[in-house]
Amino acid sequence: MKRVKLTVAYDGTNYCGWQVQPNGLAVQEVLNRCLSELLKTKIEVIGASRTDAGVHALGNVAVFDTEARMPAEKFSYALNTRLPQDIRIQNSCQVPDDFHPRFQETVKTYEYKIYNRKFPDPTKRLYTYFYYYPLDVEKMRQGAAYLIGEHDFKSFSTYKPEVENTVRTIYELGIQRSEDDVITIRIRGNGFLYNMVRIIAGTLIRVGGGYYPPKHVKEILEAKNRELAGETARPEGLTLVEIRYPEWEAKKDGHHVSVDPLP
């Protein structure tokens, strides 16, 4: 028996999210089906991040156990011939039997993209959130600065009774505007609460639009009250870019793995 780790990219437009659900097709369900057909036995993958409906990923992580003789690195090729075009395995490798994609030290990177101009571009509608009113990126950066570091992010999460600890650490939070009017909020941290990135994006949109002064972000954070933060921004603007496992990577490579700053 061996445990295989998959790095999974997908366009979340046509899915109800990552996790298997009764109300629609999930990315996890498609992976389970394709793996089960490939290996002629029932396979259920364990995912690292349960992305919501419409959210995309470049580097979600999943693992599964198998007795198949196929080398772990070959699963990416075998699966990509069976998966639909909106799901693709980027890498596959063998990991220790006790490797779990959720229950160990991680560094996650997300991007939230806002298309900020007078008229929408239909070719960007599935991967950005269109926002008509002008946004001041510098004010958004000033507001975002209050969120960097270790904080209780209760104000920036949708309540889930099973989540008792709402303290997380944000290592980097950068905001850039491109020449084609796409504002990218890039955020890296040790973990994120339910809807946390989308609520941060919704709050920073209010700052950029002049509804909140930048320092109000600090007041929202300290209040620990979800009702004071901005709306939960729409899902199509969000992409899970990468999940790193510093401790596992250090053991695998035999050297220290640092958290690199954002470009």
Which positions are annotated as active-site residues? 52
Distances (CA, A) of 240 to 5, 41, 78: 17, 30, 24
Could you give the CA distance from residue 84 to residue 82 in angstroms, rounded to a whole number?
7
Q: Which two tokens stand for residue 37?
A: 């057909």
Place of tokens 């994006």: 201
Q: Which of 248, 250, 211 is nearest to 231 (CA)?
A: 211
Q: Give the pairing type, strands 87-95 and 2-10.
A: antiparallel
Q: Which of 190, 118, 119, 182 is nearest to 150 (CA)?
A: 190
User: How buried is residue 229: exposed, middle or buried, by Cβ count under 10 Å (0-12/13-18/19+)?
Assistant: buried
Place of tokens 């160990």: 104
Is 110 annotated to bind a ligand? Reply is yes
**Element spanning 243, H or E:** strand 238-244
Cβ distance 8 to 86 under 8 Å? no
Q: Which two tokens stand for residue 226?
A: 């979800």
Could you give the CA distance from residue 112 to residue 192 in angstroms, rounded to a whole number?
14
Cite the annotated binding site by residue number: 110
Cite the annotated binding site for substrate by residue number: 110
